[in-house]
C-alpha cells in the first residue's frame, strides 16, 4: 500500500513539474514555441542511447519540415501566382 502511495506522489509531482514548465511566464509565446519546435526536430523525445533511432527520427522530422515548406510554397504559388 505504501508503495502505491509513493508512486502516486511521484506521479503527482511529475505532473505538477510539467505543468510548471509549460506555463512558465518567463518566456514569451514565441520563445516557448521555438523551443518546442527545436526540441521536436532534435528528437529530444527519442532514446538518446540508440543512435539509429535518434538520427532516423531527426532525419525524418527534418525531411517532413522540408516537405511542408515545399508544399506551402507550391500551394501559395498556385493560389496567388495565377
Domain that holds residue 59: 42-82
Residue with cell 514569451: 28
| 23 located within any domain | no
Does 58 fall in a domain?
yes
Greater pLDDT, 82 or 58: 58
Q: What CA–CA distance (Å, rounded) separates 68 from 59?
A: 14
Checking if the pLDDT of 23 tops 80, the result is no
Start-to-end C-alpha separation, the chain = 69
Is pTM beyond 0.85? Reply is no
Q: Residue 33: inside a domain, yes or no?
A: no
What pLDDT was estimated at residue 24?
A: 64
Q: Which residue has the higher pLDDT, 3 or 78?
A: 78
Q: How many domains does the chain have?
A: 1
65-68: long-range contacts, CB 8 A cutoff, minimum separation 24:
65/41
Amino acid at each position: 500500500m505504501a508503495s502505491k502511495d509513493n508512486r502516486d506522489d511521484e506521479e503527482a509531482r511529475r505532473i505538477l513539474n510539467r505543468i510548471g514548465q509549460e506555463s512558465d511566464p518567463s518566456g514569451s509565446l514565441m520563445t516557448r514555441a521555438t523551443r518546442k519546435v527545436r526540441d521536436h526536430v532534435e528528437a529530444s523525445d527519442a532514446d538518446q542511447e540508440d543512435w539509429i533511432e535518434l538520427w532516423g527520427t531527426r532525419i525524418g522530422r527534418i525531411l517532413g519540415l522540408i516537405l511542408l515548406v515545399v508544399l506551402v510554397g507550391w500551394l501559395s504559388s498556385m493560389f496567388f501566382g495565377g
